[in-house]
Amino acid sequence: MKHLSIKVAFLLGAAAAVSCGNMKQIKHQPYPEAVRGEVVDNYFGTEVSDPYRWLEDDNSEATGAWVAAENAVTQDYLSQIPFRGAIRERLTELWNYAKESAPRKHGDWWYYTYNDGLQNQPVIYRTKTPGEAGEVFLDPNKLSDDGTVALAAMSFSKDGRWFAYSAATSGSDWVEIRVMDTADKSLTSDRIEWVKFSGAQWAADSKGFYYSAYDAPKQNTYSSKNEFQKVYYHTLGTPQAADKLVYEDREHPLRYFSAWTSEDGKWLFVIASEGTSGTEILYKKVSEPKFRVLLPGFEADYSPVDCKDDQLYFVTNRDASNYALMKIDLNRPGQPETVIPESDRNLLEGVGTAGGSLFAYYLQDAQSRIYQYDYTGKQVREVALPAIGSVGGFDGREEDTELYYTLANYTAPATIYKYDIASGESTLYKAPEVNFDPELFTTEQVFYTSKDGTRVPMFITRRKDMKRDGKNPCLLYAYGGFQINLTPGFNPSALMFVEQGGIYCVANLRGGSEYGEEWHRGGMLENKQNVFDDFIAAAEYLVAENYTSTDKLAIHGGSNGGLLVGACEVQRPDLYAVCLPAVGVMDMLRYHKFTIGWGWAVEYGSSEDEEQFGYIYKYSPLHNIKEGVKYPATMVITADHDDRVVPAHSFKFAATMQHAQAGDAPILIRIESKAGHGAGKPTSKRIDEATDMYAFLFQNIGVPYRELKK
């Protein structure tokens, strides 16, 4: 089966660019009237007003009317940008390439996902032999009329007979688990509801699976606080009401619990956490009635890798900031033994298993390195990767002799390679056909100094013919939190920006774990301001080194990255021309009161703690907006079904910014319908959002989008 696309080379320069003419000055309509209430909260003697508290009720008529009016202002403004259509056209071209995942074997079939270019959701195919024409196994695009139902998780039973998938509607974190019979691709009667942050963990005998669920919300489905997650076992062919309660903790309502099983079916584990970092592992034989604590929490992280010969192999940062692989005897648990020791320099991101080998994923300055080991911890080889970038796929079955992995970077989408486990040889399996010339672009890694002297890395992707004259449009992106590492990856919209002569920069701030748990802890709790300092220093570096200037610099981030952009905007409004905070945590004093926001307290701290309130209040974006300040052009981005970071954060931030703005730059909010926090968003909505974001960016740095000669 061949999927063809036309590769088009573009030449950009004075002779190749068609200017859209002089920049048209656009005026936004008056902002909708937002009544300022008189709500005041007292935090340990500090009175904090919350005039837009009413916007937290996303079901009220008043909030609905405000949302509709704000969207009308935003869409009116965007519709006046003359090159908005040209941006959409080019983004559609760049997105329109075949995207395929590495194949994985389950039963007698090899399964993979495939998107022919602009399909809203990737389709699951299967084939008897990799490389040969596949057949459609499941097409998620048929689960809804508009592509807004997506697969959040999927898993196969050990015998390959059953396939479970978790379906999310409109981007919500709530999913429904359904099961298919792989023999005839029929859907079974099994239906599991009110599941969040869980898929199906199959039992070794393939007769059922474990999952984690909450009680059905009694009030608002998308904003009510979620408590008392429980682990259940579901037997195939029975109703959910008959599922067996496997584990619950009535004393700790704000903990997550997930099940994990050994391949031989002998052992069952429950991984507990009180938030986004720090875990505890409980265990028992499946035949035993009660769980016991194996690895106590919650000061360190423990991630199971394999259970072999009654030995649990796990990755941990306990006494190992850069992580190590350990094992513990389940029959006589004592002090864990080291299998792969902590590296002095590189972060051990995780460990996969396949063909009797362990594959260690390392990060060296935020770039992937893969090492193959045996189960004694003896290194077999470093895997010779074909290029620099981010790698995935070194995982499989015990009996596998080969596996398939992907490699991607900022200027190339995921390319698939076949790996021979015995010889260590990689061969090209499939490379995507793209609608641009990769030879025009390059990525460099630089290191800059933050406020406290910390050395921070940043990737800079640009055209090879770029001149460092301080006149280039620049987009700075970062995240900085929750141990999340930003590694090289392909983004069609960022490539469009670079194609236009822009510079796309990704900074690896503290708060991630690019350099281990110490790097993470340097950007959490009382150290959170370090993250903002790192980001501000990145912006200052780009200006000082003549990559760009303050009137051509835009900043962007989502979720915790939205908090980052919001905090940096109110701290240094003079430093940027455009700010693009997406689905951000803007109200740091009340975030824990919605859905699963309480789980972030281990990262941020809580306003209910006097000491923690003190440092949170100092940077909370919503509470540090000042009247009479000239803020940069801002487009806040959120969605109506975001039940991770509820849209009230963005609503209140936008309303407050509009009230406080002393300058002429627009403060707009774009509120997507039938969308959530971002995962599973259909291609059509991704292109729509990117079109509006980049149209707003180009318009407000005074640089028109230029159509390119082909």
- CA dihedral (437, 440, 445, 446) positive or negative: negative
Q: Does residue 559 carry a catalytic annotation?
A: yes
Lay out the sheet containing 426-430: strands in order across: 390-392, 402-409, 412-420, 426-430
Written as six digits, the tokens of 435 are 């609608």
Contact 352, 358 (CB under 8 A): yes
Total residue count of the chain as it appears in this document: 710
Contact 68, 692 (CB under 8 A): no
Which among 559, 607, 620, 650 is annotated as catalytic?
Answer: 559
**HSE-CB for 509 with a 13 A CA cutoff:** 31
Rg (alpha carbons) of the chain, rounded to whole number:
25
Q: Cβ contacts of residue 287 below 8 Å, gap of 6+?
A: none
**HSE-CB for 661 with a 13 A CA cutoff:** 19
Of the candidates 275, 301, 271, which has an alpha carbon nearest to the alpha carbon of residue 283? Answer: 271
Pairing of β 201-202 and β 174-181: unpaired
CA distance 552 to 556: 13
CA distance 291 to 284: 5
525-550 burial code (b ≥16 CB/10 A, e <16): eeebbbbbbbbbbbbbbbbeeebbbb
Vertex 348 angle, CA 343 and 352, to 5°: 130
Q: What are phi and psi of 391, to 5 degrees?
A: -120, 145
H helix runs in 303-435, sequence order: none
Structural element, H or E, at residue 165: strand 162-169
Taking the mean position of all CA atoms in its chain, how far away is CA 463?
27
CA distances (Å), origin 414, targets 362, 408, 430, 488, 643: 19, 4, 9, 11, 30
Of the candidates 591, 583, 590, which has an alpha carbon nearest to the alpha carbon of residue 566? Answer: 583
Q: Which residues are catalytic?
A: 559, 677
